[in-house]
Amino acid sequence: MKALFYTREYPPYVYGGAGVHVEYLAKELAELMKVDVRCFGDQNSETNQLNVTGFPFENSIFDNSDPKLKSVFKTLATCIQMNSEKVDADIVHCHTWYAQFAGIVTKLCYGIPLIITTHSLEPLRPWKREQLGLGYEASSWVEKTAIEMADAIIAVSEETKVDVLNHFDVDENKIQVIYNGIDLKEYQFTTSTSTLDEYGIDKNKPILLFVGRITRQKGIIHLVNAIKYIRKDVQIVLCAGAPDTPEIAEEMKQSVAEAKKGRNHIFWIEKMLSKPEIIQLYSHADVFCCPSIYEPFGIINVEAMACKTAVVASSVGGIKEVVVHNETGILVPVAQQKEAPFEPVDPDQFSRDLAAGVNKVIENPELKNRMALAGRKRAEEKFDWVAIAKEVADLYASLI
């Protein structure tokens, strides 16, 4: 078999969980078959079984377009360019709406089976209208068209499968739940502390860590607002960048400034850190916090668990299938608005509950250590990329 991947993100241009997923899945599948990855960028590499080709996203033809629509137009143009080279694969596999138009064209023009992995769903991310304007209607159309014409859909959690059935007209038999995975050899506890030293983080004081984009979906503003309820001796490390819009970037800036008025030791790292740097932070954090208001899976929680870090996370989406409450971490319930934008009904209470979970772990070293060991064990048992790649390969074979 030969598989063709279409993706926006691929190293070195990875900013979210979907890009992490594609990188490791492609690597493991290449142990089983030939894999052709076509992505946004200037990548160009080839090994025995894995070929990676980047296609330019920037295009001067759209320089005078509506600022909110530029991204949509450039995305669709890149998807067409991805089809400009001959397709000789047996399967086309798309990741996120950004690459799904490429898959639509390939399925129609080459007649090969189309697989969609649902890393997230546009109907459940209405805040993207802030970012794309009416381009959100275009991204939603692309996603709906791709999912409903797909030969198979991979849902990254049982909760995501339910969401697909609720929002799209698809045959349930076409949906298979296959979790995200992790490279357990790479993501493991390290004694190295150079990254902590570089940013002046005290290794002898408790550390709360967040890793993620500045977006409504990740709930980071709720965590920043929770800082005032967290023990004063806890250092707050926020690895947060790539804001969706100037507005949320400014909101984040103001929220952090407000939080700093009441305490010291808040470290906001805006640049994209390397994996070894992130692994150091995971390894030495006492608690990792994931305050997402929408999360189909939440691979960052697995990364933290694999590095033996207790997790405090919102009890939403696929997180409930990753983090085991009171075993590998603490799940924080959040009463959400039933209609878009699905924000907490009581944001301050949600922030207080996040802080209570963090404080509980910090104040109970025995509980923290037990969760750390249980998290690593669960990562080893449930989220190994080698086994997950075999599931995906079996799904490919069933469609050919």
Tens digits of per-residue pLDDT, 67-93? Answer: 889 999 999 999 999 999 999 999 999
Say which residues have a Cβ less than 8 Å from residue 385's Cβ, sequence separation at least 6.
Answer: 24, 25, 27, 28, 181, 182, 183
Q: Compute the average pLDDT of residues 189-205.
A: 97
The strand pairing partners of 287, in sequence order, are 208, 310
DSSP string for 121-166: -GGG-TTHHHHHTTHHHHHHHHHHHHHHH-SEEEESSHHHHHHHHH
Give the model confidence (pLDDT) of 340-366 as tens digits: 778 999 999 999 999 999 999 999 999
pLDDT above 80 for 105: yes
User: Which helix or strand (DSSP H or E) is residue 279 part of?
Assistant: helix 275-284
Band of pLDDT at residue 206, cut at 50, 70 and 90: very high
Q: What's the CA dihedral at 380, 385, 391, 394 to 10 degrees?
A: -140
Which residue reads 């932070």 in tokens? 281
pLDDT at 342: 82
Q: Sign (positive/negative) of CA torsion 93, 96, 99, 100?
A: positive
Give the model confidence (pLDDT) of 285-300 as tens digits: 999 999 999 999 999 9
* Residue 273 DSSP SS3: coil
pLDDT above 80 for 268: yes
pLDDT at 387: 92
According to DSSP, residue 324 is labeled P
Domains along the sequence of the chain with CATH: 2-181+384-399 (3.40.50.2000), 194-382 (3.40.50.2000)
Reading phi first (left if > 0) and then psi (alpha if -120 to 50, else beta), residue 260 is in alpha
* Pairing between β-strand 34-40 and β-strand 50-55 as defined by DSSP bridges: parallel
Say which residues have a Cβ less than 8 Å from residue 118's Cβ, sequence separation at least 6.
Answer: 147, 153, 154, 155, 156, 160, 163, 164, 296
pLDDT at 150: 98
Tokens of 195: 């990254």
* Residue 115 DSSP SS3: strand
Q: Which one, of 156, 257, 272, 259, lies nearest residue 213 by Cα? A: 272
Amino acid, single-letter form, for residue 294: Y
Tokens of 107: 């399925």
The strand pairing partners of 93, in sequence order, are 5, 115
For the chain, what is the mean pLDDT? 95
pLDDT at 128: 85
Give the model confidence (pLDDT) of 18-51 as tens digits: 999 999 999 999 999 999 999 999 999 999 899 9
* Residue 94 DSSP SS3: strand
Q: How far apart are CA 328 and CA 367, in angstroms?
A: 10
**Greatest C-alpha distance within the chain:** 61
pTM of the model: 0.90
Q: Are 334 and 246 in contact (CB under 8 A)?
A: no
